[in-house]
């Protein structure tokens, strides 16, 4: 009986270790840090290597459904819907994330990214920056239901 309990306990720990990231499959309403208005719905997906990506699912600002004209490389003139704007985001535990990058479709620039889940997982506080985090800007995204 003790062996069965030990095996079940180890299986339970293994299942917890392999559990999907809390952001995986979640959708967030992006909020413009300048206008404080909703911009888009973005969905996170966990990749095979454990990092997270996020792609635009819907544009919430009328008239901004166009292509990413200022983006470079493979994103140039691509539709904003379906555009991957977050890549390589890693979970550090304690609801914090780092080592990612974020594409700003308005400027076409890519920034380093870190973030943290807040308010019981209802908010995602992100910081995009160049070089060091002190040189950047914040956005708070709201979990969409």
Classify each residue of 75-112 as buried b or exposed e, where b means 16 or more C-beta atoms within 10 Å of its C-beta: beebebeebebbbbbebeeebebbebebbebeeeebbb
> Cβ(127)–Cβ(115) under 8 Å?
yes
CATH of domain 21-143: 2.40.128.520
Q: φ, ψ for residue 114 (rounded to 5)?
A: -140, 160
Query: If you search the block for the tokens 């990506």, which residue do you land on?
Result: 53
pLDDT of residue 135: 85
pLDDT of residue 1: 54
Domain ranges for the chain, please list them. Answer: 21-143
57: which DSSP letter?
E
pLDDT truncated to tens, each residue of the chain (145 aa)? 555 544 444 444 433 444 579 999 999 999 988 888 999 999 999 999 999 999 999 999 877 767 888 888 888 888 899 999 999 999 999 999 999 999 998 899 999 999 999 999 999 999 999 988 888 999 999 999 7
> pTM of the predicted model, to two decimals?
0.83
pLDDT of residue 12: 44
């Amino acid at each position: 009986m003790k062996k069965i309990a030990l095996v079940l306990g180890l299986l339970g720990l293994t299942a917890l270790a392999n559990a999907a990231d809390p952001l995986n499959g979640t959708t967030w309403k992006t909020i413009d840090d300048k206008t404080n208005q909703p911009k888009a719905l973005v969905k996170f997906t966990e990749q095979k290597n454990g990092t997270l990506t996020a792609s635009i699912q819907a544009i919430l600002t009328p008239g901004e459904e166009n292509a990413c004209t200022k983006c470079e490389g493979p994103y140039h003139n691509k539709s904003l819907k379906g555009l991957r704007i977050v890549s390589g985001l890693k979970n550090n535990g304690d609801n914090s994330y780092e080592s990612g990058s974020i594409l700003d479709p308005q400027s076409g620039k890519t920034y380093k990214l870190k973030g943290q889940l807040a308010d019981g997982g209802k908010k995602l506080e992100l910081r995009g920056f160049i070089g060091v985090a002190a040189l950047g800007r914040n956005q708070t995204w709201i979990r969409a239901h």
